[in-house]
Structure 1
Amino acid sequence: MPQTRVLVMGATGAVGSELVRQCICDERIESVVAITRRLLKESHQKLTVIVREDFLSYADLMEELSEIDVCYCALGVSQVQVSDPKQYTLITLDYVVAAAKALKSANPEARFCFVSGAGADATEKSSTLWRRVKGQAENRLREIFGKQLCIFRPAYIHPIHPREKAQWQDKIWSLFYSLKSVMPRFVTDTVEVSKAMINVSFAEEMPKMVRNAELREWSEH
């Protein structure tokens, strides 16, 4: 794949913001577009930030999307942040599917790398909201992208660059980061996830799924 033009969705989150940093540093990537609700701290000649409120329709951005080769999608929110089931589903499922459909329509050859989560339920029958909705998102994306999709299922993701407003659970879970080397199935970090996603997107044939224990290997490719 020649120098690539990429799209980052969810660029204000822990993984999304790290993806922007890693994409800027990666010489294989020619340009980075981030579609977000607010301006980013990052500023670089490779980076274009598109600020918008509507994440369900992209009719006005189809020309820009037609030039995208790869989308790294880290859209989503934790149930701790959004407890209302309808709002959680809107952000974690509907926004993701809307972006995916728009990109597929604009450029049928584009690849899509999606951050899901360990425990996502592809049967869509789980009584746990986040597991069920993440599974729904995975299934809808498979229908849209087929072999051009890779799903990433990380477990606990330690933020190498902490969020401005860290959640209380971040502080508790960060204690487990020291166990990363001995518990690779359960712990990763934002840099590892981001590098793995980028490297997978450049693979001749992308795997269908990358689980937490496989992230380190892919991040070092």
Structure 2
Amino acid sequence: MNILIFGATGMVGQGVLRECLLAPDVERVVAVGRSATGQQHPKLQDLVHTNMYDYRAIESQLTGFDACFFCLGVSSVGMKEPEYKRITYDLTIAAATVLARLNPGMTFTYVTGAGTDSSERGERMWARVKGATENALMRLPFRASYMFRPGMIQPLHGVRSKTPLYDAAIVVLKPVLGLAHRWWPDRVTTTEKVGRAMLAVARRGARKVLLDPADINALGS
């Protein structure tokens, strides 16, 4: 498979990238982002692109992919809805619209979050915007699209969050997260299982389009 990853330098993206590079059936991985991953691997190509709302300059490099794992995302803390919508909805749909046109046989997987509001009418701003993004993605003409809604994610294999506060919290809670993953598999997953689950849906699909932590853990086992 040829895989495209957005957000490969973030916590989820790092874990997904690791699993892609380890998978024997993945031949090529292209990581699209404003900065390079900093990793070297025979399968990996960094595609540095500064304007994540306009892909006309690199369209020729975005063809021939079997799957896209879209792991870009920001916290909504301190943001007004228009700003959060631009970074979450507008940015995602700008990329996905181009990819659907260039790769109609692609499987597109998007990382949202537990509690995302598919109705787009709930009280929580971030959940409405994420719900609108999911709904728009599912209307695009991909071969298949899957919405990953993880709850708490335990980073493994040296994966770190780019958000200092979140990274510090994970370090403190590391022993608790390990236990929580075993005790509450319907609420907690790991970066390893997220990556393996994405590869699983790219290979053979899944019975559900909206995948919660329990689904992710089952697919990633």
> Considering the TM-score relative to the shorter chain, is it more than 0.5?
yes
Structure 2, unaligned stretches of length 5 or more?
A: none
Q: 2:59 aligns with which of 44, 54, 62?
A: 62
> Structure 1 residue 78: deviation in Å?
1.2
For 2:193, the aligned partner's letter is E
Question: In the alignment, which residue of structure 2 is the partner of 1:45?
Answer: 42
Is residue 5–residue 17 contact of structure 2 (8 Å, CA) maintained in 1? Answer: yes
Q: Does 1:167 align with 2:168?
A: no
For 1:45, the aligned partner's letter is P
Q: Does 1:121 align with 2:112?
A: no
Relative to structure 1, the CA distance from residue 206 to residue 38 in structure 2 (aligned partners, 3 Å threshold; closer, same or farther) is: farther
Please give the alpha-carbon distance, in whole angstroms, between the structure 1 residues aligned to 2:216 and 2:150.
8
Alignment RMSD: 1.9
What percent of counterpart residues are identical?
Answer: 31
SS across alignment from 2:123? coil
Correspondence list, 1:1-221, <5 A: 4-80=1-77, 83-145=79-141, 148-160=144-156, 161-163=159-161, 165-168=163-166, 169-171=169-171, 174=174, 176-177=176-177, 178-203=179-204, 207-220=208-221
For 2:14, the aligned partner's letter is S
Relative to structure 1, the CA distance from residue 218 to residue 104 in structure 2 (aligned partners, 3 Å threshold; closer, same or farther) is: same
Is residue 30–residue 46 contact of structure 1 (8 Å, CA) maintained in 2? Answer: yes
Paired residue total: 216
Please give the alpha-carbon distance, in whole angstroms, between the structure 1 residues aligned to 2:71 and 2:206.
21
SS across alignment from 2:5? strand
SS across alignment from 2:204? coil
Relative to structure 1, the CA distance from residue 67 to residue 206 in structure 2 (aligned partners, 3 Å threshold; closer, same or farther) is: farther
Relative to structure 1, the CA distance from residue 53 to residue 93 in structure 2 (aligned partners, 3 Å threshold; closer, same or farther) is: same
> Structure 1 residue 139: deviation in Å?
0.3
Residue by residue over 1:88-119, the C-alpha shift from the partner in whole angstroms, topping out at 9 and shown as x without a partner, is: 22221111111110101111111101111110
For 1:33, the aligned partner's letter is V
Relative to structure 1, the CA distance from residue 114 to residue 206 in structure 2 (aligned partners, 3 Å threshold; closer, same or farther) is: farther
Please give the alpha-carbon distance, in whole angstroms, between the structure 2 residues aligned to 1:87 and 1:203.
36
Please give the alpha-carbon distance, in whole angstroms, between the structure 2 residues aligned to 1:16 and 1:141.
19
Relative to structure 1, the CA distance from residue 205 to residue 213 in structure 2 (aligned partners, 3 Å threshold; closer, same or farther) is: closer
TM-score with structure 1 setting the length: 0.90
TM-score with structure 2 setting the length: 0.90
Residue by residue over 1:191-213, the C-alpha shift from the partner in whole angstroms, topping out at 9 and shown as x without a partner, is: 11111111111005663122111
Structure 1, unaligned stretches of length 5 or more?
A: none
Please give the alpha-carbon distance, in whole angstroms, between the structure 1 residues aligned to 2:173 and 2:128.
23
| Residue range with higher mean Cα deviation, 169-178 or 101-110 | 169-178
Is residue 113–residue 152 contact of structure 1 (8 Å, CA) maintained in 2? Answer: yes
Residue by residue over 1:26-69, the C-alpha shift from the partner in whole angstroms, topping out at 9 and shown as x without a partner, is: 11111000111112122111111111211111112222222111
Is residue 112–residue 145 contact of structure 1 (8 Å, CA) maintained in 2? Answer: no
